[in-house]
Amino acid sequence: MTAVAPRLDTPDAPVSVPISTRLRRKPWKVAVVAVIVTAGLFWSLAPIYWMVTTSLKNPLEVTRLNPTLYPHALTGQNYGELFGQTLPFSSFLENSVVTSLVAAVIAVAISAFAGYSLSRGQWRLRGFTGQIILATRILPLVVLVGPLYLIFLKTHLLNTYYGLILGYTSFALPFGAWMMKGFIDAVPREIEEAARVDGYGRIGILFRVVLPLTLPGLFTTGAFVFMDAWNNLLYPLTLIDSLKMQTLPPGLLTSFTGQFKTDWGGMMAAACLTTIPLMAAFFAIQRYMVRGLTAGALAGQ
Protein backbone atom coordinates (compact mmCIF):
# COMPACT_ATOMS: atom_id res chain seq x y z
CA MET A 1 0.00 0.00 0.00
CA THR A 2 1.26 3.48 -0.76
CA ALA A 3 2.06 5.50 2.34
CA VAL A 4 0.51 8.95 2.28
CA ALA A 5 0.66 11.87 4.69
CA PRO A 6 -2.29 12.02 7.13
CA ARG A 7 -4.99 14.61 6.46
CA LEU A 8 -4.83 17.57 8.76
CA ASP A 9 -8.41 18.80 8.28
CA THR A 10 -9.97 16.07 10.41
CA PRO A 11 -13.66 16.66 11.18
CA ASP A 12 -13.15 16.22 14.94
CA ALA A 13 -10.93 19.30 15.28
CA PRO A 14 -11.77 21.28 18.44
CA VAL A 15 -14.26 24.09 17.98
CA SER A 16 -14.08 27.10 20.31
CA VAL A 17 -17.23 27.84 22.28
CA PRO A 18 -18.10 31.47 23.14
CA ILE A 19 -17.96 32.27 26.87
CA SER A 20 -21.60 33.38 26.94
CA THR A 21 -22.71 30.00 25.57
CA ARG A 22 -20.62 28.12 28.09
CA LEU A 23 -22.08 30.15 30.97
CA ARG A 24 -25.62 29.62 29.75
CA ARG A 25 -25.20 25.92 30.19
CA LYS A 26 -24.55 26.29 33.95
CA PRO A 27 -27.13 28.60 35.60
CA TRP A 28 -25.58 28.32 39.04
CA LYS A 29 -22.30 29.67 37.63
CA VAL A 30 -24.14 32.65 36.20
CA ALA A 31 -25.73 33.28 39.61
CA VAL A 32 -22.38 33.13 41.43
CA VAL A 33 -20.77 35.49 38.91
CA ALA A 34 -23.73 37.89 39.20
CA VAL A 35 -23.49 37.97 43.01
CA ILE A 36 -19.73 38.58 42.95
CA VAL A 37 -20.03 41.34 40.35
CA THR A 38 -22.90 43.01 42.23
CA ALA A 39 -20.97 42.90 45.52
CA GLY A 40 -17.91 44.34 43.80
CA LEU A 41 -19.91 47.13 42.19
CA PHE A 42 -21.63 47.97 45.49
CA TRP A 43 -18.27 48.04 47.28
CA SER A 44 -16.84 50.45 44.68
CA LEU A 45 -19.82 52.62 43.90
CA ALA A 46 -21.44 53.04 47.34
CA PRO A 47 -18.84 55.55 48.62
CA ILE A 48 -19.14 57.54 45.39
CA TYR A 49 -22.92 57.54 45.68
CA TRP A 50 -22.65 58.69 49.29
CA MET A 51 -20.20 61.43 48.33
CA VAL A 52 -22.43 62.76 45.55
CA THR A 53 -25.69 62.61 47.57
CA THR A 54 -24.11 64.14 50.68
CA SER A 55 -22.81 67.04 48.58
CA LEU A 56 -26.41 67.77 47.56
CA LYS A 57 -27.88 67.71 51.07
CA ASN A 58 -28.29 70.74 53.36
CA PRO A 59 -26.22 70.88 56.59
CA LEU A 60 -29.16 69.77 58.72
CA GLU A 61 -29.86 66.67 56.64
CA VAL A 62 -26.20 65.74 56.51
CA THR A 63 -25.92 65.59 60.29
CA ARG A 64 -29.25 63.87 61.01
CA LEU A 65 -29.06 61.05 63.53
CA ASN A 66 -30.89 58.76 61.09
CA PRO A 67 -29.12 59.39 57.79
CA THR A 68 -31.21 59.70 54.60
CA LEU A 69 -30.40 57.54 51.60
CA TYR A 70 -31.00 60.38 49.16
CA PRO A 71 -31.31 64.17 49.55
CA HIS A 72 -34.86 65.02 50.64
CA ALA A 73 -34.25 68.72 50.07
CA LEU A 74 -31.92 69.00 47.08
CA THR A 75 -29.49 71.92 47.36
CA GLY A 76 -26.48 73.31 45.48
CA GLN A 77 -25.51 75.41 48.52
CA ASN A 78 -22.38 73.36 49.23
CA TYR A 79 -21.07 73.91 45.69
CA GLY A 80 -21.86 77.64 45.80
CA GLU A 81 -19.93 78.10 49.03
CA LEU A 82 -16.84 76.46 47.54
CA PHE A 83 -16.39 79.42 45.23
CA GLY A 84 -17.44 82.04 47.78
CA GLN A 85 -15.13 84.41 49.55
CA THR A 86 -14.48 82.31 52.65
CA LEU A 87 -12.63 79.38 51.06
CA PRO A 88 -9.72 79.53 48.54
CA PHE A 89 -11.11 76.45 46.78
CA SER A 90 -10.43 77.86 43.32
CA SER A 91 -6.78 78.39 44.39
CA PHE A 92 -6.56 74.77 45.52
CA LEU A 93 -7.99 73.70 42.17
CA GLU A 94 -5.65 75.93 40.19
CA ASN A 95 -2.61 74.77 42.20
CA SER A 96 -3.53 71.14 41.70
CA VAL A 97 -4.15 71.56 37.97
CA VAL A 98 -0.93 73.48 37.34
CA THR A 99 1.39 71.31 39.39
CA SER A 100 -0.10 67.97 38.29
CA LEU A 101 -0.24 68.89 34.61
CA VAL A 102 3.26 70.34 34.46
CA ALA A 103 4.65 67.37 36.43
CA ALA A 104 2.91 64.98 34.01
CA VAL A 105 4.33 66.75 30.93
CA ILE A 106 7.87 66.90 32.31
CA ALA A 107 7.77 63.33 33.59
CA VAL A 108 6.50 62.01 30.25
CA ALA A 109 9.20 63.88 28.33
CA ILE A 110 11.99 62.54 30.55
CA SER A 111 10.42 59.06 30.73
CA ALA A 112 10.33 58.85 26.94
CA PHE A 113 14.08 59.46 26.69
CA ALA A 114 14.87 57.21 29.66
CA GLY A 115 12.59 54.45 28.41
CA TYR A 116 14.16 54.60 24.94
CA SER A 117 17.62 54.35 26.40
CA LEU A 118 16.64 51.48 28.69
CA SER A 119 14.94 49.69 25.82
CA ARG A 120 17.34 50.23 22.94
CA GLY A 121 20.56 51.64 24.37
CA GLN A 122 23.71 49.59 24.01
CA TRP A 123 25.67 50.60 27.05
CA ARG A 124 27.25 48.74 29.92
CA LEU A 125 25.13 48.04 33.03
CA ARG A 126 21.93 49.00 31.21
CA GLY A 127 19.97 46.18 32.83
CA PHE A 128 21.42 46.91 36.26
CA THR A 129 20.71 50.63 35.94
CA GLY A 130 17.14 49.81 35.01
CA GLN A 131 16.74 47.66 38.10
CA ILE A 132 18.21 50.38 40.33
CA ILE A 133 15.86 52.98 38.88
CA LEU A 134 12.92 50.71 39.56
CA ALA A 135 14.21 49.92 43.05
CA THR A 136 13.93 53.59 44.01
CA ARG A 137 10.19 53.17 43.62
CA ILE A 138 10.25 50.69 46.50
CA LEU A 139 11.03 53.51 48.94
CA PRO A 140 7.80 54.78 50.50
CA LEU A 141 6.87 58.40 49.93
CA VAL A 142 7.13 59.14 53.63
CA VAL A 143 10.81 58.14 53.67
CA LEU A 144 11.62 60.56 50.89
CA VAL A 145 9.69 63.50 52.23
CA GLY A 146 12.13 64.32 55.09
CA PRO A 147 15.27 64.62 52.94
CA LEU A 148 13.24 66.38 50.25
CA TYR A 149 12.06 68.96 52.79
CA LEU A 150 15.65 69.67 53.85
CA ILE A 151 16.86 69.97 50.25
CA PHE A 152 14.00 72.32 49.36
CA LEU A 153 14.62 74.33 52.50
CA LYS A 154 18.24 74.89 51.48
CA THR A 155 17.35 75.64 47.87
CA HIS A 156 14.41 77.91 48.76
CA LEU A 157 11.94 75.74 46.92
CA LEU A 158 9.46 75.38 49.79
CA ASN A 159 6.10 77.01 49.11
CA THR A 160 6.72 77.15 45.36
CA TYR A 161 5.24 75.44 42.33
CA TYR A 162 8.76 74.47 41.29
CA GLY A 163 9.34 72.48 44.46
CA LEU A 164 6.06 70.66 44.25
CA ILE A 165 6.51 69.88 40.53
CA LEU A 166 10.05 68.68 41.17
CA GLY A 167 8.82 66.42 43.97
CA TYR A 168 5.98 64.94 41.91
CA THR A 169 8.21 64.44 38.86
CA SER A 170 11.06 62.78 40.72
CA PHE A 171 8.68 60.37 42.41
CA ALA A 172 6.91 59.51 39.14
CA LEU A 173 10.00 59.08 36.95
CA PRO A 174 11.09 55.52 37.83
CA PHE A 175 7.67 54.09 37.10
CA GLY A 176 7.23 56.32 34.05
CA ALA A 177 10.59 55.28 32.59
CA TRP A 178 9.79 51.61 32.99
CA MET A 179 6.34 52.03 31.57
CA MET A 180 7.72 53.79 28.48
CA LYS A 181 10.39 51.10 28.19
CA GLY A 182 7.60 48.54 28.00
CA PHE A 183 5.83 50.45 25.24
CA ILE A 184 9.06 51.03 23.29
CA ASP A 185 10.04 47.36 23.62
CA ALA A 186 6.85 46.56 21.73
CA VAL A 187 7.93 48.61 18.69
CA PRO A 188 9.52 46.16 16.21
CA ARG A 189 13.25 46.73 15.83
CA GLU A 190 12.94 46.30 12.07
CA ILE A 191 11.02 49.56 11.84
CA GLU A 192 13.80 51.42 13.63
CA GLU A 193 16.42 49.73 11.49
CA ALA A 194 14.50 50.75 8.38
CA ALA A 195 14.71 54.34 9.60
CA ARG A 196 18.45 53.93 10.25
CA VAL A 197 18.90 52.66 6.69
CA ASP A 198 16.85 55.67 5.55
CA GLY A 199 19.52 57.84 7.15
CA TYR A 200 18.00 58.91 10.47
CA GLY A 201 19.97 59.13 13.70
CA ARG A 202 18.83 58.08 17.17
CA ILE A 203 17.02 61.31 17.98
CA GLY A 204 15.36 61.47 14.56
CA ILE A 205 14.16 57.90 14.95
CA LEU A 206 12.87 58.62 18.46
CA PHE A 207 10.81 61.62 17.39
CA ARG A 208 9.69 60.52 13.91
CA VAL A 209 9.18 56.81 14.39
CA VAL A 210 9.22 55.58 17.99
CA LEU A 211 7.21 58.28 19.75
CA PRO A 212 4.42 58.44 17.14
CA LEU A 213 4.09 54.67 17.51
CA THR A 214 3.98 54.88 21.31
CA LEU A 215 1.48 57.75 21.61
CA PRO A 216 -0.90 55.60 23.68
CA GLY A 217 2.06 54.90 25.98
CA LEU A 218 2.83 58.59 26.33
CA PHE A 219 -0.78 59.37 27.22
CA THR A 220 -1.04 56.46 29.64
CA THR A 221 2.21 57.38 31.38
CA GLY A 222 1.10 61.02 31.51
CA ALA A 223 -2.26 60.06 33.00
CA PHE A 224 -0.61 57.88 35.64
CA VAL A 225 1.73 60.66 36.68
CA PHE A 226 -1.15 63.15 36.66
CA MET A 227 -3.29 60.92 38.88
CA ASP A 228 -0.37 60.24 41.22
CA ALA A 229 0.34 63.95 41.58
CA TRP A 230 -3.34 64.91 41.85
CA ASN A 231 -3.88 62.48 44.72
CA ASN A 232 -0.63 63.29 46.50
CA LEU A 233 -1.37 64.48 50.03
CA LEU A 234 1.99 64.14 51.73
CA TYR A 235 4.17 66.34 49.52
CA PRO A 236 1.97 69.47 49.51
CA LEU A 237 1.19 68.98 53.18
CA THR A 238 4.92 68.97 53.95
CA LEU A 239 6.42 71.24 51.33
CA ILE A 240 3.71 73.93 51.30
CA ASP A 241 2.61 75.85 54.37
CA SER A 242 0.68 78.74 52.87
CA LEU A 243 -3.05 78.08 52.45
CA LYS A 244 -3.09 79.96 49.10
CA MET A 245 -0.48 77.59 47.66
CA GLN A 246 -2.14 74.37 48.87
CA THR A 247 -3.41 71.77 46.45
CA LEU A 248 -6.77 69.99 46.71
CA PRO A 249 -6.00 66.96 48.96
CA PRO A 250 -4.50 68.90 51.88
CA GLY A 251 -6.87 71.77 51.15
CA LEU A 252 -9.89 69.53 51.60
CA LEU A 253 -8.45 67.94 54.69
CA THR A 254 -7.66 71.15 56.50
CA SER A 255 -10.42 73.49 55.32
CA PHE A 256 -13.52 71.55 56.26
CA THR A 257 -12.55 70.01 59.56
CA GLY A 258 -12.54 72.20 62.63
CA GLN A 259 -12.14 71.59 66.33
CA PHE A 260 -15.87 71.44 66.98
CA LYS A 261 -17.45 70.85 63.61
CA THR A 262 -16.78 69.16 60.24
CA ASP A 263 -18.49 70.57 57.15
CA TRP A 264 -19.33 67.22 55.54
CA GLY A 265 -21.52 68.73 52.81
CA GLY A 266 -18.83 71.18 51.72
CA MET A 267 -16.12 68.54 51.89
CA MET A 268 -18.17 66.14 49.75
CA ALA A 269 -18.92 68.87 47.19
CA ALA A 270 -15.20 69.65 46.98
CA ALA A 271 -14.42 65.94 46.75
CA CYS A 272 -16.90 65.59 43.85
CA LEU A 273 -15.22 68.39 41.91
CA THR A 274 -11.79 66.95 42.75
CA THR A 275 -12.76 63.58 41.38
CA ILE A 276 -14.00 64.85 38.00
CA PRO A 277 -10.56 65.52 36.37
CA LEU A 278 -9.34 62.16 37.65
CA MET A 279 -12.30 60.34 36.17
CA ALA A 280 -11.87 62.21 32.90
CA ALA A 281 -8.19 61.21 32.77
CA PHE A 282 -9.05 57.62 33.61
CA PHE A 283 -11.75 57.28 30.97
CA ALA A 284 -9.50 58.89 28.39
CA ILE A 285 -6.83 56.25 28.83
CA GLN A 286 -8.73 53.18 30.01
CA ARG A 287 -8.49 51.65 26.53
CA TYR A 288 -4.70 51.76 26.73
CA MET A 289 -4.37 51.12 30.44
CA VAL A 290 -4.32 47.32 30.31
CA ARG A 291 -2.11 47.38 27.22
CA GLY A 292 0.27 49.76 28.97
CA LEU A 293 0.54 47.65 32.08
CA THR A 294 0.94 44.49 30.03
CA ALA A 295 3.67 46.06 27.93
CA GLY A 296 5.49 46.94 31.12
CA ALA A 297 5.02 43.45 32.49
CA LEU A 298 6.49 41.87 29.39
CA ALA A 299 9.41 44.27 29.24
CA GLY A 300 11.98 41.68 30.19
CA GLN A 301 10.98 39.27 27.45
Partner 1 sequence: MSSITLKGVEKHYGSTQVLFDCNLEIRDHEFMVIVGPSGSGKTTMLRIVAGLESVTGGEVYFGDRIVNNVDVGDRDVAMVFQNYGLYPHMSVYENMAFGLRRRKLPKPEIDRRVRDAAGMLGISEMLKRRPKQLSGGQRQRVALGRAIVRDPEVFLLDEPLSNLDAHLRVQMRAEILRVHRAVTATAVYVTHDQTEALTMGDRIVVMHEGRVQQVGPPEEPYDRPVNRFVAGFIGTPAMGFLECTLSREGDRAHVEGPGVRIELPPEAAAAVPLPGGSKVVAGVRPEHMDIVPAASVGQDVRSYVTGVVEVVEPLGSEQYVLVDVSGAKLTARTKRDSSIRPDQKVAFAVDGSVVHLFDTETEKAFL
Q: Which residues bind partner 1 (CB under 8 A)?
A: 1-5, 188, 190-191, 193-201, 204, 208-209, 212-213
| Minimum distance of partner 1 from residue 213's CB (angstroms) | 6
How far does Cα 252 stand from its chain's mean position? 20
| Minimum distance of partner 1 from residue 209's CB (angstroms) | 6
| Minimum distance of partner 1 from residue 199's CB (angstroms) | 4
**How far is it, in rounded angstroms, from Cα 240 to Cα 257?**
19
| Minimum distance of partner 1 from residue 214's CB (angstroms) | 10
| Minimum distance of partner 1 from residue 147's CB (angstroms) | 40
**How far is it, in rounded angstroms, from Cα 272 to Cα 165?**
24
Smaller CB separation from partner 1, 126 or 196: 196
Smaller CB separation from partner 1, 84 or 188: 188
**How far is it, in rounded angstroms, from Cα 197 to Cα 199?**
5
DSSP 34-58: HHHHHHHHHHHHHHHHHHHHHHTS-
Beta bridge partners of 262: 257
Smaller CB separation from partner 1, 84 or 201: 201
| Minimum distance of partner 1 from residue 87's CB (angstroms) | 47
Smaller CB separation from partner 1, 198 or 241: 198
Smaller CB separation from partner 1, 5 or 15: 5
Contacts of 12 (CB under 8 A, 6+ apart): none
Smaller CB separation from partner 1, 150 or 194: 194
If one counts every other C-beta atom within 10 angstroms of the C-beta of residue 80, the result is 10
How distant, in Å, are the alpha carbons of 47, 100, 141, 168, 239 from that of 156?
A: 40, 20, 21, 17, 11
Question: How big is the chain by its Cα radius of gyration, in Å?
Answer: 26
Smaller CB separation from partner 1, 147 or 188: 188
**How far is it, in rounded angstroms, from Cα 203 to Cα 209?**
10
| Minimum distance of partner 1 from residue 211's CB (angstroms) | 10
